[in-house]
Structure 1
Amino acid sequence: MRVNKCLLSSMSARHLGRSALITNEKAGRVMIQSKRIYICAGFIWCLLFAIMSFYWAGGGMIGVKTLGGFIYHQAIEREASFIAMVWFTGFVKLCGGLFLLLLLRRWSSITNRILYFLALLAGILLFIYGLANVVSLICAGLGLLFLQIDDFAFKWRLYFWEPFWMVGGALFILAAFKFKREVK
């Protein structure tokens, strides 16, 4: 017999007995675990991205050619201001991951709201950044826009780097929505 979950959750525990409480606890754990999945995946995304930046800032060159254009040339020249910027972006990415870990626990209601909106805003900005770059690359591929990158970097950016930004944005957005849903 199928039971309406909304009806079950609205009935009091004294009418349903201990089994309803156990079922409700399991449902709560599943919801919390799904929140953790997005938060942990977002943290890993940030950590991987930060590690790449630290590697490149430290002089590593594997994968730099996939970025192409100005970034590739600056990485070869090793200009101090550019390298400092790469170190900085690595720390920003690491802080983004640490920020997501804040969503693993409950805070005061005002702090919960602030964390939700910051995570949502970060996710939207990351997703839009990746999407705008995909659109730019498509326009360049159609000859509507000129970009100074070779075909190798073009393909890497179109099929990997820009979608990678969008995945990160989606993870931040999903983590924010799951966080908000839990703290309601």
Structure 2
Amino acid sequence: MSSNYWFITLGIVWTVIFAGMSFYWAAGGMLGVRSLGGAVYEMSINPDPSFIIIVWLTGFIKLFGVILLLMLLVQWRMLIITKMLYYITKIVGVLLFLYGLLNFITISMSVFHILDFDLDSYATFWRLTFWEPFWMAGGVFYFFAVKR
């Protein structure tokens, strides 16, 4: 397995930004929260302490991605570790991309009144132009961080 340093770097930057947003919101920041829409936005207006804890935890969980990507830079002596890192990174990339793609498709279907979501036009716009493409970009960065 060889590493693609450019995609590893992009993946690390993407992950730090992604986790940073959670930390900012957990600390009480509201910039960008309305763009998420739905229940998340409603809960953030008057957050329960448990909601704030969950947002902090999601920020820390997201940072595990940095550890995964940094592990790709190590020359492991055991082939099993190299293979595991390869497949874990590929699977994470696929899952991130699919999450964004499937959300993009379902939110687009709500725009055409095929599905009914609790998203206002502001949140719908931002989900389709930023959030879902952001998830997909992260998936691409992770997927291409490793190559055979």
Q: Which residue of 1 aligns with 2:43?
A: 74
Structure with more of its chain in helix, by fraction: 1
Counterpart of 2:133, as a letter, is: P
Q: Aligned with 2:146: secondary structure?
A: helix
What RMSD in Å do the two structures reach over aligned CA positions? 1.2
Instruction: Give deviations 1:117-142, integer Å, cap 9, x for gaps.
Output: 11011111101100110011111011
* Contact persistence 1:127–1:166 (CA under 8 A): yes
Q: Following superposition, which runs of at least 4 residues in structure 1 exceed 2 angstroms of deviation?
A: none
Structure 1 runs not aligned, ≥5 long: 1-30
- The answer as to 2:77 corresponding to 1:84 is no
Number of matched pairs? 146
Counterpart of 1:164, as a letter, is: F
Q: Which residue of 2 aligns with 1:15?
A: none
- Which of 1 and 2 has higher RCO (CA within 8 Å, sep 6+)? 2
Match among 69, 77, 100 for residue 69 of structure 2: 100
| Identical positions, percent | 45
Instruction: Give deviations 1:22-60, integer Å, cap 9, x for gaps.
Output: xxxxxxxxx86xx11110110000000000000000100
Cα distance in 2 for partners of 1:168, 1:174 equals 10
Structure 2 runs not aligned, ≥5 long: none
Q: Which residue of 2 aligns with 1:63?
A: 32
Q: Aligned with 1:106: secondary structure?
A: coil
Q: Aligned with 2:52: secondary structure?
A: helix
Cα distance in 2 for partners of 1:43, 1:147 equals 32
* Contact persistence 1:130–1:164 (CA under 8 A): yes
Instruction: Give deviations 1:137-165, integer Å, cap 9, x for gaps.
Output: 11101101111111011000011000100
Structure 1 length normalisation: TM-score?
Answer: 0.77
Offset at residue 176 of structure 1 (A): 2.4
* Contact persistence 1:66–1:152 (CA under 8 A): yes
Structure 2 length normalisation: TM-score?
Answer: 0.95
* Contact persistence 1:69–1:148 (CA under 8 A): yes
Q: Which residue of 2 aligns with 1:110?
A: 80
Q: Which residue of 2 aligns with 1:141?
A: 111
